[in-house]
Copies of this chain bind each other. A is one copy, B any other.
Amino acid sequence: MKSYLDLIKECDAFPYPGTPEHNTLISTLWTLTTTSPNHADPIPVGYLLEPLAKKLIEALTATESKNDPSNPPTGTPEFEINTSTRTIKAFTQPTESLRSAAVAKILRTWGDHQTFSVLSGWRNELYPIYGPNNELLFTMERSASPLFGINTYGVHMTCYTPISDHEKTTSGSAFDFKLWIPRRSRTKQTYGGMLDNTVAGGISSGENPFESIIREADEEASLPSELVRANIQPKRTVSYIHVRTAAAGGETGLIMPEIQYIYDLELPNDFIPKIKDGEVEAFYCWTVEETIGHLVRGAFKPNCALCLVDFFMRRGVLTRVEEGEGQWEVMERGCHRILPFAVWAASGESES
């Protein structure tokens, strides 16, 4: 069995500063930094594994050496490599669009040459990288984000529905609601067949969390926009640093700091979410206890397990007293980790 803390740690798997594990891992990683007109110092934006760092240095060097008379050097090097601090400063072009174009050019080459396995899942969808003043530094093809260890942003919504008195009696549940839980398509490359949150997705560049959840709610569960808008409850974000495992497909060990905008939604008793886009195999309507049984058996995708534990902590299914003060604090910390890179503050979000 997996404890709630085990589940959180499987998702928030990157070791914490001050531990020997952190020191060891950090000594093997490179940091990608960039610059912004508003900042004197380089801005760290991602953790790179050694193979990526090598390929990136190769690519940056090749681009530089190919500078021809029609595109004369500006005198400012566009990248700097520091092998003692294991830092690569790159994508320092003066505008966001130039920086994004430089990233895109390298990624297109890698994609064409099948340099990295994760790029075989090319999405044609851009993820944003933000700086400390909430400025967009550059964008990057979604499937490449784990390679660069950048912060990514998503939305997760848990839908629940009141349990009828009759159902409560026959099910023997101690709680007043049931949960709508989807199973991912078994043919999905990442976490195929695992359980998921009712609605979840990534936030693309230019999209805000609320628009994103409305769109995903329709695409993944056929939830009408009016119904969602009228009843959605925005909650505190969750954040963690995942370390990619084989279950996700592609390269393992990639560092994935993630921020999820969290929403709860109470659905009417007679409303049934429906499959729409083939990402979902089935929707189950489970009591809290049935959901916990699947959870502790490890049947949920890791970051969905973390969001569900957060939901249970917020909803009083788990309590500080029962879990124990110390355990609770560690669970809280793992669900709301302070990330090493600047975090976007999306506008128009507030906790209900």
Name A residues whose Cβ lies closer than 8 Å to a Cβ of B.
1, 3-4, 169-172, 174, 181, 183, 195, 282, 284, 286-294, 296-297, 299, 318, 322-323
Contact = CB atoms under 8 A, between A and B. Distances in A.
Nearest to A296: B296
Contacts of A318: 1
Nearest to A323: B1
A290 to B, nearest CB: 4
The residue among A174, A292, A323 with the most chain B CB atoms within 10 A of its own CB is A292
Contact of A297 (B3, B284, B292, B294): B292
B282 A289 contact: no
A56 to B, nearest CB: 39
A268 to B, nearest CB: 20
A282 B174 CA distance: 14
Q: How many monomers of this chain does the complex have?
A: 2
The 6 closest A-B pairs by CB, nearest first: A289-B293, A292-B293, A293-B293, A290-B290, A172-B284, A289-B294
A312 to B, nearest CB: 10
Given A1-B4, A1-B318, A296 B292 contact: yes
A294 B289 CA distance: 6
Contacts of A288: 293
Contacts of A181: 172
Given A1-B3, A318-B1, A171 B284 contact: yes
A183 B169 CA distance: 11
Nearest to A183: B172
A84 to B, nearest CB: 41
Contacts of A282: 169, 172
Nearest to A312: B1
Contact of A289 (B4, B169, B183, B297): B297
Contact of A290 (B195, B293, B299): B293
A172 B183 CA distance: 9
21 contacts: A1-B3, A1-B296, A1-B318, A1-B323, A170-B284, A171-B284, A172-B181, A172-B183, A172-B195, A172-B282, A172-B284, A174-B297, A286-B290, A287-B290, A288-B293, A289-B293, A289-B294, A289-B297, A291-B293, A293-B293, A296-B296
Contacts of A287: 290, 293
A170 B166 CA distance: 19
Contact of A292 (B171, B284, B292, B323): B292
Contacts of A291: 293
A251 B268 CA distance: 48
